[in-house]
Structure 1
């Protein structure tokens, strides 16, 4: 039997304490009911409490929102998912012919061949032929962002406000910083509990700059389950498995393809567990973590935002009580009860 509200609240509080997670805001949908709960503090220095309207960094939960916009533009006939983005904004990497073949489909399914982020030992280039296998890439989302902005004639934050946030009533969501967030924002905490400097993006980044609330993002997840704002074809397409993920890793750039994970695939914007018909995503910025899991057929979903580097450690425990069952995505991400 699942715990009642009081017991679930106590259980989550105990999980947070044991893992050193200062604050959490969670959206839970089950059947026709929806609930938002808040726990802990926005920052340990002031002890200001997390509330249902507290703004968190969504980190990589930014990516499905951008995927939704891309699919809307495809619905409108403005974006061909299989046309090389280089025809719109030029090749991403000079002297790398393969990078000129990258399409929106490759970006959304994380099959670009690009690294997650360029690093001193991992320069920006394609490491395998685009479309051939999965390797998670934030660089790809930023490349797609430039194409979407070119097509729509606006910055990403304006495009998303018009196409997603306003239609869904997501009034506390933005890819750029708003001063109004100052009154109720969560600050990140590192593994030692130190407070991180607040990230206040003045330009949208498709991969990680979204600020939002659990309730707002919950609206987006419910819309994703409903296929809202998309054609029936597009709503099906972004939940359709493209390729399996590499075993226990999200970035895999080596020349020899790695073994693949059982039961974990990627669609066009979401991670997928096809056997249980569930979609998911996770996020991690410095001091901030986030997780989404949803099963459309059961009208069940959870959205969790945590202001601690260790936040993902409590996700399996929450999932066990809110959405029990086999979820191979958790082991793929290295999370265990």
Structure 2
């Protein structure tokens, strides 16, 4: 017991030092090691109020929203309701009417980030396909918004209802929602920008498959454990979303140029998760204004962590967390530009 208390104290000191050095106000972390699980909380929800983060604090999951939506798509495929290789245009209509290639985008393309679409459209990068769908990787939030339209058309319900019914309720994720709940007001983390200024609170009234999930470290930990176990999926689907589909571009996650870039060594994308095949881990990261998140998991050893940080600088502490919880070579960190 004394050794366990000592180990936790050393870990807590290490995390507190990481947060201080990176100016991260608050952190909530779920840790799974073998058969044991725990949730740890550090720092404050807001530098203005000084209210502490606790195990029930609600954070923005940002892009950790995407694997949850992937899980729904795979369930629908298991049920025979969604063909992963059927063009989504048959369900959601054409995405870009003057771009015939966009009409060939499938759910598999979205899940593996091979749509050819930009991450997000803007004045310099209009919405269109920049390479043939299915040919290579370029991370795309736009693809998930398109998939959302198809899933809602197929199921006849808004995304937040679909996800609640198929994922949150079966897994007991009672503090998770793709739209804002008033019950979150009393214990929600506020985002902080790089200068430490508080961001306006994001309270979505419509789900966005790419980034609107609000949840707790404990709730998302349940989802990650389910992903490691293949819960709620057929054996085939559980295996499929952990199989490498495509290599990632060297040193970046968006690559829209006409000439295919060099690929990253040891980092691939499956159907919903980033993968490190050599060390048999899956991962994902997230970043909304003032909020960051990260997941790393090894199904074979049932080791994983989920970290939510209320700062644009939060990902800077991820390598230090990995060093203590899941040490070893993790090429995903260098791919994302996260090195100690």
Residues 164-205 of structure 1: per-residue CA shift (max 9 Å, x gap): 000000000000000000000000000000000000000000
1:290 to 286, 290, 293: 293
Cα deviation for residue 89 of structure 1 reads 1.2
Alignment of 1:1-337 (within 5 A): 4-337=7-340
RMSD: 1.0
Residues 210-252 of structure 1: per-residue CA shift (max 9 Å, x gap): 0000000000000000000000000000001000000010000
Cα deviation for residue 91 of structure 1 reads 1.1
| Distance of 1:46 and 1:206 partners within structure 2 | 31
SS in 2 for 1:121: coil
SS in 2 for 1:240: coil
| Distance of 1:91 and 1:70 partners within structure 2 | 19
The TM-score, its normalising length taken from structure 1, stands at: 0.99
Residues 256-281 of structure 1: per-residue CA shift (max 9 Å, x gap): 00000000000000000000110000
SS in 2 for 1:275: coil
| Distance of 1:88 and 1:311 partners within structure 2 | 38
| Distance of 2:91 and 2:35 partners within structure 1 | 43
Cα deviation for residue 60 of structure 1 reads 0.1
Q: How many residues align?
A: 337
SS in 2 for 1:4: helix
SS in 1 for 2:15: helix
| Distance of 1:30 and 1:227 partners within structure 2 | 17
The TM-score, its normalising length taken from structure 2, stands at: 0.98
Structure 2 residue runs without a partner (length 5+):
none
Cα deviation for residue 94 of structure 1 reads 1.2
SS in 1 for 2:294: strand
